[in-house]
Chain A
Amino acid sequence: MIGRSERMCSAACLELMHAEMVSYFLSARETRESAQKEMERLGFRVGQKLAERYTKDYGRITEPMEVLRFIFSDFWPVVFSKPPDSLTTNNNSLYYIEDTDFRWTSKISVTSRTTLEDASYFLTFPCGIVKGAFAALDVDADVKADFQETPSRCLFTIIFKGKAIPTR
């Protein structure tokens, strides 16, 4: 498993820091769109660096399908603390990764004051991370995420651009 020998710190630190980052961008930027764009860009850079580090002893992954498999089974469990639940597709360019207990958002409580829409800003940075990881492995993909009723159930949609995934 990648990153196993690395040193660890508490997940609470990362969760709280991420929450501070989200509130920093939402208050420092004039529009929510620009806040989201920048958080995604930051996540992208982090994801790129992580994927580069994690694949350095891995041999070269070239096939988009291998990259997807790498992200699903190796990258995700390390970065998001647990393996995702399922990987599905509806056609050649749309793939779905479902995580029913997504640790980066699972502690958010949705109340009358915090809506699911507010909580969705917490998905922007993680989407950027995944997108950056694909980019580091030469796959141009767009990544979106939505909550499935609660902030702990997340569905990530991977849209491949450019290089199409060959059907097998």
Chain B
Amino acid sequence: MARDYAHPEALVSTQWVEDHRRDPKVRIVESDEDLLLYDTGHIPEAVRIDWVTDLQDAVVRDYLGRERFARLCSEKGIANDTTVVVYGDKNNWWACYAFWVFKLYGHDDVRVMNGGRKLWEAEGRPLVRDPEPKYPSANYVAKEPDPAIRAFRDEVLKHQKAGRPLVDVRSTDEYTGAKLHMADYPQEGALRGGHIPGAASIPWSKAVNDDGTFKSARELEKLYAKENKLKRRGRIIAYCRIGERSSHTWFVLKYLLGYPNVKNYDGSWTEWGNLVGVPIEKGMPAGAGA
């Protein structure tokens, strides 16, 4: 059983950020669910990247394109060899979402600050309300999107028909179809409730501690490999509602546990629950534990 994370370099501590936040080779990036949270206090050197207004295309339902990603990085003073450290609210959901987009366009060195905003704040570390700092513009060159980490619906359907592993990381009520969305979250327009048949229900929240940090390699191994029998060599697709919580689980499986083949299905339930004629299952599968 693993004693350390498979890719420990993908995770940094709040202390590491404290020690490196002024390093010109390091760019700290805050990514939150609430756009204005950054304005109410952020790590002094951090820039903001927003999941809606920066990372999504405003017209097509898709991420921003390669050229816009390159422009965004250049504007934020991120070069191809910059060490990018993402952090944010909500247990780093949006930080993982941003991390995934950086990997989609081939950024080499991206890391997540373990514990996110919550831990940084709890430790009484500095947060400032200054305007977003400006850094010298870089000449970023983005790679073509990496198909190895993103799943589209046709592939998910084939994957499902072939009985390959799918991980549904939403809450149990969303999985069973009792609810169309998380408690307290908006219903983002799915016409059917339930899950993709065959998907294992492993809510993302099982991977984190109360202080917002990730659970230990040993605990994660127990959760995913032992209790849910996810095989390391299997091709795995994770999904949630709009792709943010599944970015979190994708990060855990790929970087903390070292599963080589994990994709995020960002279309997730808001796509699947609206597709005509695709199979849907409700309730808990027979034989599944509570």
Does B bind A? no
